[in-house]
A and B are shown apart, each in its own frame.
Chain A
Amino acid sequence: MVKATEQNQAGRYGKFGGQYVPETLMTALIELEDAYKEAQQDPAFYEELNYYLKDYVGRENPLYFAKRLTKKLGGAKIYLKREDLNHTGAHKINNALGQALLAMRMGKKKVVAETGAGQHGVATATVCALFDLECIIFMGKEDVRRQALNVFRMELLGATVVSVDQGSGTLKDAVNEALRYWVSNVEDTHYILGSALGPHPFPQIVRDFQRIIGIETRKQIIEKEGRLPDAIVACIGGGSNAIGMFHPFIDDEDVKLYGVEAAGSGIDTGLHAAAIADEKEGVLHGAYMYVLQDDNGFIQEAHSISAGLDYPAVGPEHCYLHDIGRVKYEAVTDQEALDGLQLLSRAEGIIPALESSHAIYYAANLAKEMSEDEILVICLSGRGDKDVQTVRDALGGNYDGK
């Protein structure tokens, strides 16, 4: 019997996790942990959270039976968990909302956040507008270019977006700058970390606020099918949508769980973001995880067409779930993700985010190998509006790429 996610001490998942941060941040982490524990005991906190999740985010969102896709692939019945239908277009709002409510509990009126694709940045800017919190978002220079519309969305919402030139100008560098900013402004600022990463208690808090994905899925599939699914597939950058989806199913051993990393140009090219596939352990941004690095321990740049998966590590709980074999981690290339995106767009009239397209491609192959009486759920973590320009460039301007 697998009891996968018991934390044995200070945010440890097996050997992964921990709190590897400068001393200046320790007090803020302890304060956050205390505030969260207190909130967990307070029904009023969840009453408020649930109110906003329902009336503002639009939960619960559907578990949609993808009939045409199922027929086309000729295998398992495919359901899509429609996180793309949330306000702001992705699962990120679930966590941003929860953490903003926590920040207010701690009396903090300022918020800092990092963003890759811009989805977490938009979600954070949104909840800051909603609750009148001051908001500063750090975003890698390369991502600012790739996701120009999301930058403008954040600015429309009243956030200050800072372009980060350091390093590769992607998500990891945005986290570095957000951490530096937090160290310098820790007394009145809360850091809304966007993925199940970073020092304890962040991986736990982010997971808990994302668990709503799996909790709803469980209830919905039982309503529709009278039983649990045979397999669930989700994409993984840092891993927040995946851990939120997987966690309520961890103890159901008959439900196979698949996490899909970004293989970029291909694992063997070295240009990828698949830290679990690489299996090198290390410390980045406060946690012990699998981290893309060279022999000197220098962090390597991640590569993926999808800005949201462009991170050189995977959250500590996923590293643990990999080690104990509870979740199977696979990787899908840029090209394959583009195929997945087009597949779902044509089959169901749903343009998925490039991140989610990794899960779709993998799930499509998996579904073909499954029988018609089996059930497969894909976490459709976000919608593809933000990626249309990137996809257009990648395909050379038309559908066939000609």
Chain B
Amino acid sequence: MMANKTLQNVMEAKVAQGEKAFVAYIMAGDGGLDALREQILFLQEAGVTAIELGIPFTDPVADGPVIQEAGLRALATGANLRAILKTISSFKEEIQIPLVVMTYLNPIIAFGIEDFVQACEQSGISGLIIPDLPLEEATLISDELQGTDIALVQLVSLTSPQQRIEKIAKAAEGFIYAVTVNGITGVRQGFTEQLEQHLSNLKKVSQIPVLAGFGISNAQQVEEISAMVDGVIVGSAIVQAFHEGHKEKINELLNKQPV
């Protein structure tokens, strides 16, 4: 049996301590690539478990307005997958928490899959989230990840039927990303009543930590959803806080975590 990858070990350690994981999403290049180091170190200092590093893309079909706009701002500064990974590698010694790259598939294909994986290794990347790469197509990337410490994080949605959830859970590494809404990323008022049942079912099926994301945007939601799973991923609210220069809002999101 192969040793688990770092991303999974970090998440499991958190669970073992009886704590909840908190993954913060940022849009790399929003505010310029120069801001990336400061943003990452700020989040690390604030105590997040891991950082999801969004790569801007021209056609982000899984993203709502907040992240779409952040992506456009990042694109306008000239940010792209190669440049972002290069920037990360320049201060990787200062990063102690896992970095998970969230990118659509096409920039990876343009980079060259092999070269991309190599660049990720050189930048100390621990995981990948590729929203337009479902289980059926996953080998395109997962074959290249064998023998690396990079986990391919799988998403499970509210629409995934039981049999499919079991199949995804079996293939999953790092953590399972439970999508909490039928829809795109972004701020939401509330969640459906089936969510609790769905998440508890997913927890039962999964051998590895389950984190929930999409639409979690305030401290109350962080607390509420965290209680159902092993942790949460918060995106739009953090992107917006950085953009507006209200970093204290990020601390508020984190402080309300049940420990």
Instruction: Judge whether A296 and B110 touch: CB under 8 Å.
Output: yes
Q: How many residue pairs, one in A and one in B, have C-beta atoms under 8 Å apart? A: 119
Assess whether A172 is in contact with B109, with CB atoms less than 8 Å apart. Answer: no
Distance between Cα atoms of A291 and B61 in the complex (Å): 16
**Knowing A20-B105, A23-B157, A27-B159 touch, does A299 contact B59 (C-beta < 8 A)?**
yes
Chain A 10-31, CB-CB to B under 8 Å as 1, else 0, gives: 1000000011111111111000
Which residues of chain A are within 8 angstroms of B161 by Cβ–Cβ distance? 27
CB <8 Å contact, B107 and A166: no
Identify 30 residue pairs between A and B in the complex whose beta-carbon atoms are under 8 Å apart, listed by A's number.
A18-B137, A22-B134, A23-B156, A23-B160, A23-B179, A24-B182, A25-B159, A26-B136, A26-B157, A26-B160, A27-B164, A176-B60, A180-B62, A180-B184, A183-B61, A183-B183, A184-B184, A186-B159, A187-B159, A283-B104, A283-B109, A283-B132, A284-B106, A285-B59, A293-B106, A296-B81, A297-B106, A297-B107, A297-B110, A298-B107
What residues of chain A have their CB less than 8 Å away from a CB belonging to chain B?
10, 18-28, 166-167, 172-173, 176, 179-180, 183-187, 281-286, 291, 293-299
Chain B residue contacts of A173, Cβ below 8 A: 59
Q: Give the complex CA separation of A285 and B158 in angstroms.
A: 21
B147 CB → nearest A CB, Å: 25
Residues of B within 8 A of A172 (CB): 59
Q: What's the nearest-Cβ distance from chain B to residue A3, in Å?
A: 25
Contacts of B133 in A (CB 8 A): 20
Contact with A along B84-113 (1 / 0, CB 8 A): 000000000000000000001111111100
Map CB proximity to A onto B236-259 as digits: 1 under 8 Å, 0 otherwise: 000000000000000000000000
B5 cross-chain contacts in A, Cβ below 8 A: none
Which residues of the other chain, A, contact B68 by a CB distance below 8 angstroms? 166
Q: Give A224 to B156 CA distance when docked, in angstroms.
A: 56
Once the chains are docked, how many angstroms separate the CA of A225 from the CA of B135?
51
Say whether B187 faces chain A, with CB atoms less than 8 Å apart.
no
Q: Determine the chain A residues whose CB is within 8 A of the CB of B137 once the complex forms.
A: 18-20
Interface string of B52-64 (1 = CB under 8 A from A): 0000011111101
Query: For chain B residues 99-157, which have a beta carbon within 8 Å of chain A?
Result: 104-111, 131-137, 154-157
Residue of A nearest to B130 (CB): A20
Task: Evaluate contact between B132 and A20: CB separation under 8 angstroms.
Answer: yes
- Whether a CB of chain A sits under 8 angstroms from the CB of B39 is no
Q: Whose C-beta in chain A lies nearest to the C-beta of B83?
A: A296
How many angstroms between the C-alpha atoms of A291 and B184 in the bound complex?
Answer: 24
Lowest 3 CB-CB distances: which A-B pairs, in order?
A297-B110, A297-B107, A184-B183
B9 at the binding interface (Cβ < 8 Å): no
